[in-house]
Amino acid sequence: MSFLRVAVISPKLYLADVGKNVEVISQLIHANRDAAVLLFPELSLTGYTMGDLFMQEALHKAVLRGIERLKEVVRESIVIVGAPLWYQNRLYNCAVVMQKGKILGIVPKSYLPNYREFYELRWFHSGKNIKDANLLDAPFGTDLLFEDDDLLFGVEICEDLWTLKPPSFDMAAAGANLICNLSASDEVVGKHTYRKDLVLSQSARCICAYAYASSGVGESSMDLCYSGATMIAENGALLAEGERFGLENQITKADIDLQKLRYLRASETSFAQSEVPSYRIVKTASLKRVQVPNRYYDPTPFVPKHKEQKHARAKEIFAIQSHALARRVQHVGMAKMVIGVSGGLDSTLALLVCNEVCKLLERPKSDIVAISMPGFGTTNATRSDAKELARLIGADFQEIDITKAVKQHLKDIDHANQDVVFENAQARYRTMLLMDMANKVGGLVVGTSDLSEIALGFSTYNGDHMAMYHVNAGVPKTLVRYIIEWVAANEKDFAPVLQRIIKRPVSPELLPPSDGEIAQKTEEIIGPYELHDFFLYHFIKYGASPKKLLLLATLAFKEKYGKDEIKKWLRVFIKRFFANQFKRDAMPDGVKVGTIALSPRGDWRMPSDAQAKVWLEELEDGSSD
């Protein structure tokens, strides 16, 4: 699965007592053997605030003895500690990378702070020009990267991150997907927020995981205070953060997703166009991978967690939809907007967008031609709500019953069964009616299909699949409700009818009602949209395999769905996604609102006759894992 556990540790420090520090670090190594990489702070063998004691020979000998003792403790995991080391009669602030009883490499600090409270140039030299060197029988220099299979990591030390061009930029360009930063960053008011922003930003810019471990309160308090900040970030997201100002050892762990990072670099950025610097690659012994990651997966990744974020997201999406449609309306000569309204979620959102376009362009609401087309499965509730919303908006509302015309059509083709022909005949007739009405009034047909339906192909080809402009094409089903909810909060007159629509189950209403109630519930036919949107998000954005999708969904929905049920609907998702590319190839223009879109002219290109066999086989093979 390419999940790798990283531990960042700020140990209880005994300033200037190398032996005691080695003892503490050894215990922490033993206690955290579940992590593949263990990162300790800058100068963790001695402490950062040693001052002129760094120049003492006694300290130097103690450091060398301490490294030898640590080598004996280090086994399968990578351990990175900080130490002051001499090279060619110059002292360097170093990161020592160890595994299986030996030093794999030593990386010196490149950028030395020498301002305000910092005075490193008094003791240390910059190692940024040291390449192809050796120290303590190990590679030494800033030209080192460390590799095991799909892991390639590099090392920065504190100020290296804060400088104008952090070394991690070049490391990432050379393929490093994990950056380990040993730090000794003191605390002043507001600094931690900026520090965290740096870590998050660098992980995003480099499309990598970034592990950060800083010295704790065991450092000298003569003029400063150190908090023991620990963080692990991945592509701009904070995976884990430890408590600051602890008096004991602070341990923070996270499982990073190397496959996800590789896919992002290949699919969403110009990463591959970066110039590749030259590095010495140090091979490590094989590191353990995590089979079931200990990390949170949001079951609704398209929907923000917090109310304020939801409202902000809804506002922005609604603005994108409205301004895109307004531009299209202007382009075709201030055409009227013709839309089929059903009282369902998607047509409601599209109608609300049309209403906003009239406001933006200062046009009468009667330029919205809202047509209700009740058929065999239409219920009184949806029919009534569609009419009421159109009336409240002030649209030109028309109701055209399609049952008689569809019955005649079915008679013409000698068809009497309530099957796919029966259903699709209604959808295609409605689209024909809308197209003809648009010609009649000099308008364009505004489509209502959303991103989830487009992914699953849950539409009738050349029926609701077709329009002159799709305003919902970039909006997943799980987000549609929240955007309507946001409109309801801002348009009080619409609120009652919108709340009724939001609570109603999703249905195409193509089969006759049962006791006046909706007979067809979409999610009973194709599965829960929250699952399909989860699959879609991780499949498109991160290239997750079926086996991985099953694992992530099982973690995300463990309180709601069992593994067998998730697997059942994942199988449906894969089959439908592959089988319906031909519909996406012929889909009309529609605005992209998020990072995931399926337009064949932009984000997603695949042959419409591609087979799903490989993906389905992997899903079945992974069922017993």
Is 558 designated active site?
no
Q: Which CATH number covers residue 533?
A: 3.40.50.620
What is the H or E stretch that residue 195 is in?
A: helix 191-205
Largest CA distance in the chain: 101
255 and 347 fall within a common domain:
no
The strand pair at 133-135 and 138-140 is best described as antiparallel
Tokens of 182: 């040993």
Evaluate whether residue 606 is within a structural domain.
yes
Evaluate whether residue 299 is within a structural domain.
no
How many whole angstroms from its chain centre is CA 554? 17
Domain stop point among 234, 249, 283: 283
Catalytic: which of 158, 180, 206, 358? Answer: 158
Catalytic: which of 12, 42, 208, 547? Answer: 42
Please say whether the dihedral angle defined by the alpha carbons of residues 585, 588, 591 and 593, taken in this order, is positive or negative. negative
341 and 428 fall within a common domain:
yes
| Structural domain harbouring 332 | 307-624
The strand pair at 237-241 and 230-234 is best described as antiparallel
Please say whether the dihedral angle defined by the alpha carbons of residues 603, 605, 608 and 611, taken in this order, is positive or negative. negative
- Count CB atoms within 10 A of the CB of residue 30: 10
* pLDDT tens per residue across span 439-477: 999 999 999 999 999 999 999 999 999 999 999 999 999
User: Which residues have C-beta within 8 Å of that of residue 254, sequence separation ≥ 6?
Assistant: 5, 6, 232, 234, 239, 240, 294, 295
Distance CA 23, CA 458 (A): 63
Beta bridge partners of 93: 84
What is the H or E stretch that residue 389 is in?
A: helix 380-393
131 and 199 fall within a common domain:
yes
- pTM comes to 0.91
Per-residue pLDDT at 624 exceeds 50:
no
- pLDDT > 70 in the chain, percent: 98
In 3D, which of 454, 448, 427 has the Cα closest to residue 346?
Answer: 448
Q: Radius of gyration of the chain from Cα atoms?
A: 30
Q: Which CATH number covers residue 273?
A: 3.60.110.10
The angle at the Cα of 341, spanning 337 to 345, to the nearest 5 degrees, equals 115
Evaluate whether residue 80 is within a structural domain.
yes
**Residue for token digits 């927020």?**
193
323 and 242 fall within a common domain:
no
More confident residue, 602 or 451: 451
Evaluate whether residue 537 is within a structural domain.
yes
* pLDDT tens per residue across span 33-85: 999 999 999 999 999 999 999 999 999 999 999 999 999 999 999 999 999 99
How many whole angstroms from its chain centre is CA 244? 27
Beta strands (DSSP E) in 57-167 are: 78-87, 90-99, 102-108, 133-135, 138-140, 144-148, 151-157
**Residue for token digits 């075709």?**
332
How many whole angstroms from its chain centre is CA 527? 23
Give the chain's domain count. 2
pLDDT attached to residue 411: 95
Catalytic: which of 109, 260, 548, 567? Answer: 109
Evaluate whether residue 291 is within a structural domain.
no
Evaluate whether residue 348 is within a structural domain.
yes
Q: Which amino acid is at 164?
A: L
In 3D, which of 517, 4, 609 has the Cα closest to residue 256?
Answer: 4
How many whole angstroms from its chain centre is CA 567? 22
Distance CA 551, CA 555 (A): 6
Evaluate whether residue 352 is within a structural domain.
yes
Tokens of 35: 């992590």
* pLDDT tens per residue across span 236-264: 999 999 999 888 899 999 999 999 999 99
* pLDDT tens per residue across span 275-334: 999 999 999 999 999 999 999 999 999 999 898 999 999 999 999 999 999 999 999 998
DSSP string, 311-322: HHHHHHHHHHHH
Contact status, residue 567 vs residue 619, Cβ threshold 8 Å: yes
In 3D, which of 432, 462, 298, 282 has the Cα closest to residue 371?
Answer: 432
530 and 618 fall within a common domain:
yes
pLDDT attached to residue 520: 66
- Count CB atoms within 10 A of the CB of residue 166: 22
* pLDDT tens per residue across span 391-425: 999 999 999 999 999 999 999 999 999 999 999 99
Is 517 designated active site?
no
Evaluate whether residue 469 is within a structural domain.
yes
117 and 15 fall within a common domain:
yes
Tokens of 400: 């055209």
For 543-595, the three-class secondary structure string (H helix, E strand, C coil) is CCCHHHHHHHHHHHCCCCCCHHHHHHHHHHHHHHHHHCHHHHHCCCCECCCCC
18 and 114 fall within a common domain:
yes
Indicate the average pLDDT of the chain: 94
Is 234 designated active site?
no
Average pLDDT of the residues in 94-117: 95
pLDDT attached to residue 518: 64
Beta bridge partners of 584: none
- pLDDT > 90 in the chain, percent: 87
pLDDT attached to residue 217: 84
Q: Which amino acid is at 625?
A: D
* Rounded alpha-carbon distances, angstroms, from residue 168 to 99, 252, 258, 620: 22, 22, 17, 40
Beta bridge partners of 68: none
158 and 258 fall within a common domain:
yes
Per-residue pLDDT at 519 exceeds 80:
no
Length of the chain: 625
More confident residue, 508 or 197: 197
419 and 533 fall within a common domain:
yes
249 and 360 fall within a common domain:
no
Contact status, residue 515 vs residue 552, Cβ threshold 8 Å: no
* pLDDT tens per residue across span 262-277: 999 998 788 888 899 9
* pLDDT tens per residue across span 130-160: 999 999 999 999 999 999 999 999 999 999 9
608 and 479 fall within a common domain:
yes
445 and 503 fall within a common domain:
yes
* Rounded alpha-carbon distances, angstroms, from residue 403 to 326, 426, 448, 512, 557: 33, 8, 21, 11, 41
**Residue for token digits 């992974």?**
622
